[in-house]
Amino acid sequence: MDKMIVHGGSLLQGEVTMSGSKNSALPILAATLLTREPCIIEHVPDLSDIHYMLTILNMLGSEVERASGIVKVRATHLRTEAPYDIVRKMRASVCILGPLLGREHAATVSLPGGCVIGDRPIDLHLRGFEELGATVQVKGGDIHLLASHLHGTTIHLRGKYGPTVLGTGNIMMAAVLAEGTTVIEGAATEPEVTDLAEVLIKMGARIHGSGTSRIIIEGVRELHGFRHTIIPDRIEAGTFLIAAAMAGKKVTLHRVIPQHLEALLHVLEEAGVPLKIKKESITITASPSLKALSIETLPFPGFATDLQAQLSAMLCTTQGVSTITEHVFPQRFMHLAELKRMGANIELDGARATIIGVDQLSGAPVMASDLRASAALVLAALRADGPTEINRVYHIDRGYEGIDRKLNKLGAKIQRIQE
């Protein structure tokens, strides 16, 4: 199990290119199950989650080739069962349910695993499949779906804490081959949903309204292959922007889509961070002092919950009193205890964290609990006095392609140790 040793105190400077989006690539890889024709996907990031998804596709019968960020998939013949041993390692594996149900009208998939950031039920997915005409049974830790045929209907997908991104994608992938018209109300509006919709349209699907809370899908009889380039990872870009705001001199990010980062860019400007924004790049320069903030996480286009932990790390050394209220995953604060081990002054009351800025964090042994918490600990360590040992960094490899290598290129001092 790898760990990282981060030696704090270095200033970040230089240029770095963002990888393809993990949260876009996973459902798009799943969408290859909808056709027997070859599919080519470019700019696929090299992540453990991607590896697990390709393994699942292969186990289902797909032919998979991968080289230099390009993945080729051909699902000529399919099996409809995905076993626990591989599915348990990644929550996003649930997105194979929609395409299997759409193409084969049957699926048996183990309940998924993933990182522990609170309750993330898939009841909205299953309810949507039922409304499309499937029989749903959860037994022995497996989800069983069966349908004689699928029919269009109106499905409401907004849950207690907002829309479901994976659920929206899953229902879209099932509905594209259903009879008639399906309307998804309360759909997620994230860029990753729009990217998936663009792929499905390339395959011959008829989809209107992606990027809005109301998506209309007119079912077709069959779909064909596609070639597509994955959008840049907005969460990786956001993480590097926050790192540069905390410990940067001058950093330029290439291959970004600023429109996907508007909420974060507004927050950074509010904190006093100088930004230069171009069509596909963002340059951030050091600020003599950052201002305290009051932030609430919300579904897109609001401030992303996937950047909450990283922003928490920045606010630990921002003078004044800052607050973060988590509306999407109210229990997503496991990183705070580890930040406090490094000297942060944080009080947690339910879904609201109050962060009182300190002059300096101190390096300490810490434990990563989930993907974004891992990134937050790396960022905090960049500002800490002395070395920080971060354990369980396999979490960070799920969603960041070579984060240590990219930060080292900018001047950080990070060692990866294999144990």
Give the active site residues: 115
DSSP secondary structure code for residue 232 in this structure: B
Which one, of 352, 271, 250, lies nearest residue 318 by Cα? 271
Positive or negative, the CA dihedral 86, 328, 125, 400 is: negative
Residue 161 makes CB contacts below 8 A (sequence gap 6+) with: 327, 328, 329, 330
Residue 139 makes CB contacts below 8 A (sequence gap 6+) with: none
φ, ψ of residue 88 in degrees (nearest 5): -60, -20
The residue type of 319 is Q
- Asked whether 396 and 375 are in contact (CB, 8 A), the reply is yes
Exposure string over 311-331, b if 16+ CB within 10 A, otherwise e: bbbbbbbbeeebbbbbbbbbe
Residue 132 C-alpha from the chain's centroid: 27
Burial class (CB in 10 A: 0-12, 13-18, 19+), 46: middle
Q: Take residue 82 and report the two structure tokens written for it.
A: 């995905």
- d(Cα 164, Cα 381) in Å, to the nearest integer? 32
The three-class DSSP label of residue 257 is coil
Q: Take residue 182 and report the two structure tokens written for it.
A: 């399906």
Beta bridge partners of 162: 159
